[in-house]
Amino acid sequence: MAMMKLWTQIGSITATIMFIWAIFQHYFPYQFRSSIIRFFDKFLSSLYPYITVTFPEYTGELIGRSEAFIAIQNYLRSRTSIRPNRLRAEAVQDAKSLLLTMDDNQEVVDKFHGVTIWWASCKTTPTNHTISIRPTFDEKRFYSLTFHRRNRDIILGSFINHIMEQGKAVEVRNRQRKLYMNNPDKEWWHRSNWIHVPFEHPANFRTLAMDSKKKQEIINDLVKFKNGKEYYEKVGKAWKRGYLLYGPPGTGKSTMIASMANFMEYDVYDLELTCVKDNTELKKLLIEISNKSIIVVEDIDCSLDLTGQRKKKKKTEEEEEETGEKMKEPVKKDVEDKKQSKVTLSGLLNVIDGIWSACGGERLIVFTTNHKEELEEALIRRGRMDRHIEMSYCGFEAFRVLATNYLDVAWDDSYDKIKEMLEETEMTPADVAENLMPKYEGEKTEECFKRLIGALESVKEERVNRMIEAIASGEEELEKAKAKG
């Protein structure tokens, strides 16, 4: 009986409060209501020592999700100590797999430098039932961060920055990396000058056939670059680094690029210079390249005649003046139209090392070539191509890596002979790998090593024959010279 009387009194008090609030909302002027509400807020704040900060999912006109909301979502997802009772699985675009996030109307406890923090994932219920592809103004999701007012400076200062950095780092780790190529036939409906596919190359430094000491030097250089943001700002340089990979075909230049991309967790932009119309389009492509990426120009010596354009133009004009034969205007125009690219050496230099090179950060620029000596010195000098890496023929250490990769063999009795033959011959890692790879199911490792030794002997024999032919040819020319003399 007493309990029923208590509930009756509570209901009566609640109804009275609601009636007074309705009268207050309807009959009192807005300015007066605002003053009273502010007064009550101050009064309640003096009794409630906590501060709450909200981070809405959408801001402005609901065009794009808030970066802060996404960063908090990634941060909470990465905190293994935070375990909400309900989780929501999301298939996020460009993510490697399904991502688990805290469900709506859940609250968890977090700590930062000994300070207790309360996170809550909230969602307002819409009052209407309109169909929309994105949340309406009545339907809003947001995260709320609650902490004691005495920790205001710590939370609003270092903790917020910590969340943004950690959230972006988690996003980079979870994203599906991509391999881009420039699109020469861009139509009006294409939003970007680049098209892409998922980057799923399995190469890594562990399986890369190279001298271990040289490999470790490259890894150390990459780590120093990745952690060098403050250093580059200090010395006043754009946060980029250039690598020139040179050597004969089949020595692993493309595999090195894939290994660098997987190690750094960067996207790869394969820039085909012959498809770029002019320097302006080259700059547009550069602007669209994201941070944390590798810009690759393979076979730079074959992409464009960057070294000889001016010389050839000058020579052509001199020949026309001497012969007096001028090309007709329609023919000139046809030649101009057929020319694939007007990218110049100065335009390329401006992109990789000029003012435009600072349009973005944390980028690696990699050139590959089979003939380093044919490249313009200005293109590969230090500061543009900071590190020159020779991808040479297969040595014994590189062979041991390949033997472990293809045959799971750490040592064999034939290694001494193979080591001696590798020092006397020149065989690329690609050829060595092809000979080591089993040709049928169940082929024994001894047969693979025997096949490699036979191939090395053939290469050595061909080299000896070429030397004999060269000596014979030299003696023949000497005899002809003596006869003429």
Q: 222-256: per-residue pLDDT in tens?
A: 999 999 999 999 999 999 999 999 999 999 999 99
Do 33 and 163 lie in one domain? The reply is: yes
Do 248 and 350 lie in one domain? The reply is: yes
Q: Tell me the pLDDT tens digit for each residue of 113-131.
A: 889 999 999 887 665 555 5
- Ranking 49-58, 65-74, 334-343 by mean pLDDT, the lowest is 334-343
Tally the C-alpha atoms within 13 A of residue 328's C-alpha that lie toward its C-beta. 2
Q: Is residue 471 over pLDDT 50?
A: yes
Do 212 and 273 lie in one domain? The reply is: yes
Do 6 and 116 lie in one domain? The reply is: yes
In a domain, 416, yes or no: yes
In a domain, 200, yes or no: yes
Query: What's the confidence (pLDDT) of residue 262?
Result: 95
In a domain, 468, yes or no: yes
Which position has the higher pLDDT, 299 or 307? 299
Which residue from 483, 407, 408, 393 is spatially nearest to 451, judged by alpha carbons?
407
Highest-confidence range of 8-17, 119-128, 303-312, 446-455, by mean pLDDT? 446-455
Give the Cα separation of 459 and 428 in Å (integer).
Answer: 11
Do 256 and 281 lie in one domain? The reply is: yes
In a domain, 196, yes or no: yes
- Report the SS3 class of residue 390: strand
Highest-confidence range of 61-65, 176-180, 335-339, by mean pLDDT? 176-180
Strand blocks (E) in 288-351: 293-297
Which position has the higher pLDDT, 298 or 97? 298
**Which residues are within 8 A (CB) of 235 and not within 5 positions of it... i.e. 6 or more apart?**
none
Rg of the chain over Cα atoms, rounded to whole angstroms, equals: 34
Q: How far is CA 246 from CA 218, 231, 250, 257, 293, in A?
A: 15, 28, 11, 12, 21
In a domain, 334, yes or no: no
Give the Cα separation of 124 and 103 in Å (integer).
Answer: 13
pLDDT confidence band for 308 (50 / 70 / 90): very low
Q: Is residue 83 over pLDDT 80?
A: no
Q: Tell me the pLDDT tens digit for each residue of 176-215.
A: 899 999 987 665 555 678 999 999 999 999 999 999 999 9
Q: Which amino acid is at 413?
A: D
**Which residues are within 8 A (CB) of 464 and not within 5 positions of it... i.e. 6 or more apart?**
none
Q: Name the H helices within 175-308.
A: 212-226, 229-235, 253-264, 279-288, 300-303
Do 350 and 463 lie in one domain? The reply is: no
- Ranking 145-149, 194-198, 317-321 by mean pLDDT, the lowest is 317-321
Do 218 and 268 lie in one domain? The reply is: yes
Q: Is residue 61 over pLDDT 60?
A: no
Rounded to the nearest integer, the mean pLDDT of the chain is 83
Do 468 and 410 lie in one domain? The reply is: yes
- Report the SS3 class of residue 275: helix
Give the Cα separation of 422 and 395 in Å (integer).
Answer: 6
Strand blocks (E) in 28-140: 50-56, 87-90, 99-102, 106-112, 115-123
- Ranking 6-15, 188-197, 372-381 by mean pLDDT, the lowest is 188-197
Q: Name the H helices within 48-174.
A: 67-78, 152-154, 160-174
pLDDT confidence band for 477 (50 / 70 / 90): confident
Do 156 and 228 lie in one domain? The reply is: no
Do 60 and 197 lie in one domain? The reply is: no
Do 264 and 358 lie in one domain? The reply is: yes
Other residues' Cβ atoms within 10 Å of the Cβ of residue 58 = 17
247 DSSP 8-state letter: -
The rounded percent of the chain whose pLDDT value lies above 70 is 80
133 DSSP 8-state letter: S
Question: Residues 396, 397, 402, 403: is their CA dihedral positive or negative?
Answer: positive
The count of domains in the chain is 3
Domain assignment of residue 206, given as a range: 183-304+341-390
Query: What's the confidence (pLDDT) of residue 319?
Result: 53
Q: How far apart are the first and last CA of the chain?
A: 138
Q: Is residue 58 over pLDDT 60?
A: yes
In a domain, 313, yes or no: no
Q: Which residues pair with 147 in a beta bridge?
A: 51
Do 120 and 242 lie in one domain? The reply is: no
Other residues' Cβ atoms within 10 Å of the Cβ of residue 56 = 16
Q: Which amino acid is at 333?
A: K
Query: What's the confidence (pLDDT) of residue 271?
Result: 94
Beta-sheet strand order (sheet of 267-270):
194-198, 178-182, 267-270, 293-297, 363-369, 240-246, 387-390
Which position has the higher pLDDT, 183 or 314? 183
> Which two tokens mark 136?
């309406």
CATH number at residue 257: 3.40.50.300
Query: What's the confidence (pLDDT) of residue 393?
Result: 94
Q: Which residues pair with 50 in a beta bridge?
A: 148
**Span 88-97, average pLDDT:** 65
Which residue from 233, 100, 88 is spatially nearest to 170, judged by alpha carbons?
100
In a domain, 351, yes or no: yes
pLDDT confidence band for 310 (50 / 70 / 90): very low
Q: Is residue 41 over pLDDT 80?
A: no
Which residue from 350, 352, 257, 340 is spatially nearest to 302, judged by alpha carbons?
340
Q: Is residue 109 over pLDDT 50?
A: yes
Give the Cα separation of 317 and 310 in Å (integer).
Answer: 11
Query: What's the confidence (pLDDT) of residue 314?
Result: 45
Which position has the higher pLDDT, 68 or 63? 68
pTM value surpassing 0.75: no
Q: Is residue 322 over pLDDT 60?
A: no
CB-based contact 428:395 (threshold 8 Å): no
Q: Is residue 411 over pLDDT 60?
A: yes
In a domain, 112, yes or no: yes
- Ranking 257-266, 316-325, 363-372, 409-418 by mean pLDDT, the lowest is 316-325
